[in-house]
Amino acid sequence: MEINFETLRGDVERALAEAMDIPSLEALRVRMLGKKGEITQLLKTLGTLAPDERRVFGQKVNDFRRVFEQGITEAREFLQFKQQSQAIEKETIDVTLPGRRRAIGRRHPIASVQDKLTDLFIGLGFTVAEGPHIESEYYNFEALNTPADHPSRDEQDTLYITDRIVLRTQTSPVQVRTMESMKPPIRIVAPGKVFRADEIDATHTPVFHQIEGLVIDKGITLGDLKGIQELAARHLFGENTKIRFRPSYFPFTEPSAEVDVTCHACGGNVPPEGCRVCKDSGWVELWGCGMVHPRVLEMSGIDPKVYSGYAFGMGIDRITSSLFGITDPRNYFENDMNFLAN
């Protein structure tokens, strides 16, 4: 058998030099040493040769194989080294580059006011109660003494999901759910989102936030209610804040009152040039409250002859606007970082 080992060696050396990565090097190894590789084939022919021919040819093939294997090993080491250096180069940190600025988030103004109020009431022995956003008409209206012909049940004001299911228009359904599941004494606050079928404009958004309070116990009076409202107003707007009750009407409280708070801009002393915040009245109307209607107690299985209670519902958005001088509630929902950060 005539094999020009010089030519073969030249071919293989060229192939080794041309292998630019590990996979092509592996392909070359298989081409030569694999089951059907060229060197393997040569070794297989040894058996067919005469003994002295076999010795000489065998020597040459084995020498060639050794040289080839060494070539493969060296080429692999070189390629691995090259790969590592490239990887290290890529991962090098340039310590002179400026750092990436990380934006630090902060509480949404509505969430921070909600927390501030919740903290106050927890400190006064209230617990936090929650209820579903999707509510039955019964809990949202009927159990709150709001009959079917009441204007607030109009489809134009309420977002109906089906005939009898609504997006809650107030946090008050949580009151009813609590009275049904707890025995007095009850002291809860229920913060959360509420929904109305309002078009978005400078004074309305279809979703806003309330915090509802409910206290039921023996001997609860209007004086207790007023004391708590005063405390909340001072906690929000400062020690010198005063409140006044103005008679009002809510279906689920009797008597009911609007809570006015002294204007935090002018402190109730309207300057000669006038005050934009309170429109020169010295007072800002902020939330509503009242003594729980006996019929509401009765419907929830609480004896109004033994127990009495009060409830209040604060609009968190309105309080937040008042605190921060925000004139357009749409800002709360627009994810404008400039607004939220200031």
Residues forming contacts to Zn ion in the complex (CB under 5 A) are: 263, 265-266, 275, 277-278
- Nearer residue to Zn ion within complex by CB, 204 or 279: 279
- Nearer residue to Zn ion within complex by CB, 62 or 281: 281
The sign of the torsion formed by the CA atoms of 101, 105, 109, 110 equals positive
Least spacing, CB of residue 272 vs Zn ion, in Å? 13
Least spacing, CB of residue 284 vs Zn ion, in Å? 7
Least spacing, CB of residue 286 vs Zn ion, in Å? 13
Q: Which stretches within 259-315 are classed as H helix?
A: 294-299
Token couple for 219: 């001997």
- Nearer residue to Zn ion within complex by CB, 188 or 261: 261
Least spacing, CB of residue 265 vs Zn ion, in Å? 4
Least spacing, CB of residue 100 vs Zn ion, in Å? 45
- Nearer residue to Zn ion within complex by CB, 140 or 322: 322
Question: Helix and strand tally (H, E) in the chain?
Answer: 11, 9
- Nearer residue to Zn ion within complex by CB, 311 or 319: 319
- Phi (first) and psi of residue 186, to 5 degrees: -120, 130
φ/ψ bin of 291: left (φ > 0), alpha (ψ from -120 to 50), beta (otherwise): beta
d(CA 296, CA 146) in angstroms, rounded, equals: 10
Instruction: Give, in order, the Cα–Cα distances in Å from 108 to each of 114, 189, 286, 337.
Output: 10, 20, 20, 10
Least spacing, CB of residue 270 vs Zn ion, in Å? 6
List strand residue ranges (DSSP E) for the chain, in order. 127-128, 134-136, 165-167, 186-195, 207-217, 243-250, 253-262, 283-292, 308-315
- Nearer residue to Zn ion within complex by CB, 34 or 274: 274
